[in-house]
Amino acid sequence: MVYMKVFKFGGASVKDAEGVKNLAKVLEVAGEKDLIVVISAMGKMTNAFELVVTNYFGNIQEVTTSINEIVHYHHKILEGLFSTDKHPVFLKVNQLIAELSQFLDKNKSKQHPFVYDQVVSYGELISTTIVSAYLEETGIKNTFLDARDCIITDTKYRDANVKWEATQQRISEVINKKGITITQGFIASEYKHNLTTTLGREGSDYTAAIFAYCLNADSVTIWKDVPGVLNADPRYFKKTTLLNHISYKEAIELAFYGASVIHPKTLQPLQRKEIPLYVKSFLNPAGAGTCVGKGATLDPKTSCFILKSNQVLISLSSLDFNFMMEDHIGDVFKWLHEFKMKVELIQNSAISFTVCVDNKYDSLDALLAKLRGAFKVSWNEGVTLFTIRHATPVEVKRLEADKTVLLKQENRDTVQLVVME
């Protein structure tokens, strides 16, 4: 029996040539022989591919410019990694770009989510092509795997759902458990015609968990630009504490509330098979990092602060000041679902219903138009949702002090605040 481990490297770890070189070092320090390495698009390339899609639908004369920027970014990395542009990897990357241009030339579909997945997936295809070639060059033998041959989904483009049985079977057939395999995060293929799908933004962590689950892996390690999971978002809070150990349940809560260091879907498959998840720093690969697994809820036991910015708070009341009844609220949920608004928090009173949503797919105007037909509507854009777990009242007060709190909700372990800053 070969026990494998799964590593995942995100965009930040391969944002430039130095990052790719460091990835090779991390593999050396870790010293694992049988490994699946899941890699995201380089740096912020997924945003750059999104711009290609936006231009394709709305600003066609800019498509070539946006593709050229992507080519330029990857060429710079290639030049930093390989001594000659005669290396076959240059041709491979150019071929991928040519394939993308051909798709855009020939495509007749006006379905934005479908086109999005066909285009944006090239970020991962290019990054893994480059990393695989570089590792070979430095003597780290590896097999390149197209994740679309393994991860099978439905046809919900941009947010596809995994078909577990088909995926399990493909992974059992295709994966060579010996040696190092390099593959893409985030991308998959749908079960009908094998067309490319994606698992949702930041979905590469989830890919790592899918491989681990289907292979009964020993563990998953996601390599980050932070020492591990911290008790507070370091982009906002100056003082943070490294969490040594977190239970699956607590980690699922933290990810669900928006601790963006772990993608929320990642933990369920790992919990089901009790596969530990390590979050470690690619800048300090020998560091202990954080272990998510069986055992203590939180070690050290401390309060956790999570924030989600750029949310929308919408309040509805009935046009005739009647009570907000279940049938009204039912309609609201139906429309939120239709416009793909992720609901973060709800609060209900006799005559009003308030909901805090994540306007991920830019569909606020369409939703508001629909809501205005049935309710009196008021809303605030650009609000921040803070979630505080295991906090003392003093800590909550301190956080509230310099903010305008629009809504507050408390239960036993969790306080949530919607604030305007």
* Site residues, ligand ASP (CB under 6 A): 10-11, 40-41, 46, 123, 185-186, 201-204
Size of the site for Mg ion (CB under 5 A): 2
Residue spans of beta strands (DSSP E) within 158-205:
180-184, 187-190, 196-198
Residue 41 binds: one of Mg ion, ligand ADP, ligand ASP, none (C-beta under 5 to 8 A by kind): ligand ASP
Residue 224 binds: one of ligand ADP, Mg ion, ligand ASP, none (C-beta under 5 to 8 A by kind): ligand ADP
Give 10 or 289: the residue with its C-beta nearer to ligand ASP.
10
Give 279 or 417: the residue with its C-beta nearer to Mg ion.
279
CA atoms within 13 A on the CB side of 371: 28
Provide, rounded to whole angstroms, the least separation between the CB of residue 40 and ligand ASP: 3
Q: How far apart are CA 327 and CA 346, in angstroms?
A: 16
Give 185 or 276: the residue with its C-beta nearer to ligand ASP.
185
Query: Stretches 4-12, 96-104, 112-120, 234-242: which one binds Mg ion (CB under 5 A)?
Result: 4-12
Provide, rounded to whole angstroms, the least separation between the CB of residue 92 and ligand ADP: 24
Provide, rounded to whole angstroms, the least separation between the CB of residue 10 and Mg ion: 4
Provide the binding-site residues for ligand ADP, judged by CB under 6 A: 10-13, 40, 202, 224-226, 229-230, 233-235, 259-261
Q: How far apart are CA 42 and CA 148, in angstroms?
A: 19
Q: Please provide residue 156's backbone torsions phi and psi, each rounded to the nearest 5 degrees.
A: -80, 85
Query: Stretches 5-13, 277-285, 303-311, 329-337: which one binds Mg ion (CB under 5 A)?
Result: 5-13
| Residue partners of 258: CB distance under 8 A and separation at least 6 | 306, 307, 308, 344, 385, 387
Give 155 or 244: the residue with its C-beta nearer to ligand ADP.
244
Q: Is the peptide bond before 264 cis (omega within 30 degrees of 0)?
A: no
Indicate whether 117 belongs to the interface with Mg ion (CB under 5 A).
Answer: no
329-352 burial, b for 16+ CB within 10 Å, e for fewer?
eeebeebbeebbbeebbbbeeeeb
Could you tell me the two tokens for 103? 């798709």
Provide, rounded to whole angstroms, the least separation between the CB of residue 8 and Mg ion: 10
Provide, rounded to whole angstroms, the least separation between the CB of residue 258 and ligand ADP: 8
Provide, rounded to whole angstroms, the least separation between the CB of residue 368 and ligand ADP: 30
Could you tell me the two tokens for 245? 């150990």
Residue 123 binds: one of ligand ADP, Mg ion, ligand ASP, none (C-beta under 5 to 8 A by kind): ligand ASP
Indicate whether 124 belongs to the interface with Mg ion (CB under 5 A).
Answer: no
Which residues between 196 and 255 bind Mg ion (CB under 5 A)? 202
Q: Please provide residue 411's backbone torsions phi and psi, each rounded to the nearest 5 degrees.
A: -135, -165
Residue 260 binds: one of Mg ion, ligand ADP, ligand ASP, none (C-beta under 5 to 8 A by kind): ligand ADP
Helix (H, G, I), strand (E, B), or coil: what is residue 387? Answer: strand
Q: How far apart are CA 179 and CA 351, in angstroms?
A: 62
Residue 46 binds: one of Mg ion, ligand ADP, ligand ASP, none (C-beta under 5 to 8 A by kind): ligand ASP
Q: How far apart are CA 273 and CA 248, in angstroms?
A: 11
Indicate whether 10 belongs to the interface with Mg ion (CB under 5 A).
Answer: yes
Provide, rounded to whole angstroms, the least separation between the CB of residue 305 and ligand ADP: 8
What amino acid is encoded at 98 in this protein?
A
Give 11 or 276: the residue with its C-beta nearer to ligand ADP.
11
Measured N-to-C along each axis, helices 112-120 and 45-58 cross at an angle, to the nearest 10 degrees, of 140
Cβ(383)–Cβ(418) below 8 Å: yes
Give 115 or 261: the residue with its C-beta nearer to ligand ADP.
261
Give 80 or 234: the residue with its C-beta nearer to ligand ADP.
234
Specify the DSSP element, H or E, that contains 248: helix 248-257
Q: How far apart are CA 245 and CA 299, in angstroms?
A: 5
Q: How far apart are CA 141 and CA 135, in angstroms?
A: 7
Cβ(43)–Cβ(74) below 8 Å: no
Residue 324 binds: one of ligand ADP, Mg ion, ligand ASP, none (C-beta under 5 to 8 A by kind): none
Q: Please provide residue 358's backbone torsions phi and psi, each rounded to the nearest 5 degrees.
A: -100, 115
Q: Which residues bind Mg ion (CB under 5 A)?
A: 10, 202
